[in-house]
Structure 1
């Protein structure tokens, strides 16, 4: 099995991260910038039955932001109102925003309705895709480029992380980033 090494910036220090095979392991890191690390392939459906694969999502976008959702996670419940300030408007021509939820149809429909998500939410009741991406906490964000490479990952959310991710999306889209209302957001990365 091939192993790929890449650098990661964690709390102001550079650390090494090894990715083996098609599993992304960023469990000990907070924020990761990568190069040429392939995202794992998957095929998941939305609650209405529409199938999506990594390839179908990345073919028409410069980047896809995957938001890994623990539907019963109390931290994620606090995070999504902040996330939705840019996620619900991120599905432009160059960036797609996609949720991957750790539940089946009933859980996905309930979470989508409760949260007001306006982007696709993929069901991963078996958690195989979640595990393949190494997303061990919620919320967790992974950015994949059009070549299928993982280019960024965040374990958790904070005011700075949300602003940085929103700025990244806006830059790729060639737009001005929205002004986010981040009062009450944690000052350091937080996850459940």
Structure 2
């Protein structure tokens, strides 16, 4: 049965049928008890707004299952980003957020406040947390319609959303431009094919928690195809983890900004590099310039507030945080109109 796209339809399906059936699987790195290609056991979860839900494969859509902890910054970032998936795949996936600490507040208010438009589920007594072998929230799995795991990701970084989208597109056979694989395969330049292979190798290193070996592979991808935006973004993220590679991170984010001036990752990345080097005022200046180009980004204003706070500019920090909250509220209001 297809999962409803909004809470009201979702709950109606639960009330009418008594149970909702779909598939879920998970990944070896993010989950201790399951490996790629395996099908998850059937399990049940309660919908935060009422009803009991039963899950079992197969499904009509690709499933993105996220174990999240309300009140946690990284989980909040993941919830927000999963509500803004690439339009090329948005209507072909079903996002499910399983809150592992429902007693620490109102899960629905928390998730909906971050823009979630998908079902919010409750993991009572961490039953499914243990069943899946979750290491630490947030963790997210991309599951094919046949119930088999495609990819899983532990924690949250600036590249998580892109990685999730890439995994979904691979399942659906969709290229970066939104066309099916069959439609674009013959038109992919040789340099891009080579770069994609190198990036895939890097992602395998990341899955095996060998991130230090991933960066050189991503570097090869950027050398094979200097216009490969996804590779530059990932190179910047990996380089940020190495104090001796900040110059490489800066170069990567500059390239991101050059290839796509509207891509927020480039602007925020450059600010993060400056902050890592101790130049918080310079970082804030970069974000203020970015805000002139992307004035509606709540996340950008949030980072701006953090930079002002680190620089000791409390009034500017408070102003930026208020602006971030306003933009987030405006976006949620627009989505519900």
- The answer to whether the aligner puts 1:26 opposite 2:64 as a matched pair is no
Contact 1:46 / 1:121 at 8 angstroms: preserved in 2? yes
Mapped partners of 1:173, 1:51: distance in 2: 33
Q: Which has the higher contact order (CA 8 A, sep 6+)?
A: 1
Q: What is the Cα deviation at residue 120 of structure 1?
A: 0.8
Contact 1:23 1:134 in 2 (8 A): no
Runs (5+) with no aligned partner, structure 1 = 1-21, 188-192
In structure 2, the partner of 1:100 is: 98
Q: CA deviation at 1:65?
A: 0.8
How does 1:115-154 map onto structure 2 within 5 Å? 115-154=114-153
CA apart distance, 1:33: 7.5
> 1:134 Cα shift?
2.0
1:45 Cα deviation after fit:
2.2
The equivalent residue for 2:53 is: 52
SS at 1:38 equivalent: coil
Partner of 1:39: 40
- SS class of match (1:126): helix
- Runs of 4 or more, structure 1, over 6 Å off, are none
- Judging changes above 3 Å, is the alpha-carbon distance between structure 1 residues 28 and 79 closer, same or farther for their aligned structure 2 residues? closer
> Which string of whole-angstrom CA distances, capped at 9 and with x for unpartnered residues, describes residues 151-185 of structure 1?
211101222332121233345284846x8643547
The DSSP-based 3-state class of the residue aligned with 1:45 is: strand
Is the radius of gyration larger for structure 1 or structure 2? 2
Q: Which residue of 2 aligns with 1:12?
A: none
Rounded to whole Å, the distance in 2 between the matches of 1:102 and 1:120 is 14
Relative distance call for 1:79 and 1:95 in structure 2 (3 A) is: closer
What is the aligned partner in structure 2 of residue 161 from structure 1? 160
More strand by share: 1
Q: What is the TM-score normalised by the length of structure 1? A: 0.64
The Cα of 1:42 is off from its aligned counterpart by: 1.0
Closer, same or farther: CA 24–103 of 1 in aligned 2, 3 Å: same
